[in-house]
Structure 1
């Protein structure tokens, strides 16, 4: 039967056990047949290649489930996801190293309690079931010892992290002071003047005017310290036209990734298992009668929605329950229907259409992926040769003429522009380089490499007036317009201070009430609201902008209502944000300290080997 649920799942956070179980089991274990060594280490604690491979494949699976599109390891690397995965694993290894150093561990009793809380290991009665535990681990390719070791480590990390970040609080007096400041408002009236309100033309600036304005605003036209750089570089994109991929290889890649390109119709499903068919029927009847809903049933069992989540499933995943689940719409509950753990109700939270991509349709994406991968491998294979040439006395110009590397020049002052300056690795390298430094081969992050030479350091200096003449003329004209408008506005403001209202002064005013400090008001110069908050009731002020002037009269200062819902909401946000910021800062400092004491090593060759295995 199809039962209309009262609502879809609420947004929820996985708990510690849910995260661990999702990471190790939710997408299945990776079959990684490469090196059994490590890709990184913190002190003597290693990040195993197997764990890195599994984490990458889990990311691919998550993204594919979220987007319904095929994702390759190349896509992850291009987006920098592989580095994010590595950073997370290195952080975990840092915590493991520290936990081991101080002797922090988790006993069998705590481990057993946490195993019992994982929904996938529970039987129909909601209690830990060893057969369900063994079955789940077996299906995921994990041994009990391996999973329990990881669970102990994750729990120790959680305890260590919790001890660092728990408990930061702000004093109530500080909260009250900030809320009183943030929640007060102003009522005011204003009118704006712009160039159209002038009764005279703005003259063209003389050469003397331009020179004076240029001199008075020289900071605007000053070039920062700049390094004149010559570089040689090569990226996978530069080599794509030199790489050919055969039809047989394309078809082999398609067949290998066929499940990514052809996905059956799927559903995002939650499942609540019951001890008997009668109990399941009773629950279904109460939902149909409107006496309860799916979430209430879950809470009554002492479970979280995370414990019922099956994720994205196909008909094959659901077995005998497939027809019932696929016959209901989004937000509806199906069942009772059979499951491997007993009769169950299933709630459908989303419907995902089947995706079918033929070989011909997938061929362009496959070719692009394989070409870029082949280009990366070619660059990686030649990187040591590039370095050897430099060591042997070759110049960057020699590299460009004798290899696939291309020569370029740039005046670099830290800007993030196009080409090589868009790569963080380039900026980081140039920042520490000086004329005469030996050029070395450095990775760019997308599989490319470069070597650079600082030819000259140009000190901070003003750009010549002739080079910035148009900007200077525009700046002078805006300033002159503002000055003329200010003179006119001061006359009108004096009239208002003398008792005239805005209309009598020939202005068209706007009145605003309850304006907060963070409000942006159209028609007012930038920063005008902040200046209004510095005024006293009844004051009239002229607030200049760029080519615009506002006349403002403050009508009323409205103190914060400390008992209002708004004030309470601001206080809650302030406390939470401050606690999170403090906790994040403490944790970052803690991990940085661990890594500085233990030392961090990353094996780039091992990382590339894992990526190659996952192609």
Structure 2
């Protein structure tokens, strides 16, 4: 995930809206291609305790550290094996700081222009966030408060973030929306999309190459230089005790309890009757009588209704009570007194006079206590198991909350303790390739989500079914195994490296010979290589779809040039030669012109947004304190 962040922040696409602040909060951070431009502002020693100033206000070391940790936790939810060290090494600190400074600068700039965000807008934005909605789909205050506690933020801080990002979004949307590329550039881009290229390609397979067997010294040297490749990441041994709903001892429901449940659900087991009804509603009793008489005389209801200027409505699956709520008690009484195929006399509701035809009658016989016994027993048993599960989980949590150790909490609730092998963060053992079991995944998530000396945690394994009391038993530091244990793997890796190096040499030699007017076939012949040559061609527009790497390579070459590149699966090396370029003409392709217009408008809007962010930072005044930044970097580099 962090690699995605870095690619995004250094791309034009990421200019206006950067990423999600946390996996559960829709904070759109603004910034963009800032690390490679002059948006950083001045650099100075700065005030103690500050990493930067924005418009004279300090951004403190604590604020930056807190934000980095929050974003790391969000990243780790998406990538459980992401370590804090990797997050920092891949630019997490710089990414967070850049977005913080740009967001603050845009906020100050917008407010200086008189822009504000109302309290009502803040509240509406928060209430729309999916993470704060309860089971009924409405805003859940408890969920909101719980997440704030988890984040260590006050409501005022959270709402301040919301207002800041809303202001930034309003500014950048307006700026980006002003983009309008010139027609001449749009036409040139449309022509470029229709440009076609034809070439030829050959493949040098690694499987066709033989290299000498590596010596022990070769293996030792390769292993030493690539030790990180064979290093096993940190693993953790867990101790857990399962609380399984179906394994909990419970008393079977008594006859009295089953009978009571039957009485409480009497409506469910009573005989039922539903009817499919067709009705027309007319304004006067006389008109209703005329329609009823015509239908009884054989006229279809639709024809009789049409003659009266109305249309019939069909209501399937109606109970008497449900239909009474739609009409009135007298109308429903008449409809449920008539036989199947019968037509009622006019009856009145608040809507008018009803004429109802009974299209179908569906009767379901009631069920006696004996007939419902098995169903009720199963329901009562499930309810008891769920209650017992909740009781045991609550007791375990109470024991832990009261200071009990893992062993004491398990013993107090009669749970059996199990130890796992050393697990990776995804629940696998080192070297295993099979998908781990859900239990191993959840146990690993629990032990990697807590400090080694922290209290045990209760982890949900199967919702409403299985929970596990989990504690860290041992931390196995990252380490590389002895060469003897991985000799076969090292030998295969070294051989593959040498085979690919030889394939590269061959492909590069062919490409060198094919540069210029020499065709790829002629170059292969001159190099003494017998390889199949295939024709490749495409338009630039087709690059947006699924094309082969050798086809895509055509558009990185000049005419009559050749290039060698490695296959994505490392199975060999390709040589691609560009034979012909056909210029595009979009004069009669309004669809292509429109597509080019959309692409350029988006790119130009992103450029406008980038430049606006730069101007806002310059106008407000953004100053970085490298000493403070380095202090934060040093304090965080020791771990979480």
- For Structure 1 versus Structure 2, the TM-score category normalised by the shorter chain is 0.3 to 0.5
Alignment TM-score, normalising by the size of structure 1: 0.44
Alignment TM-score, normalising by the size of structure 2: 0.43
Larger Rg: 2
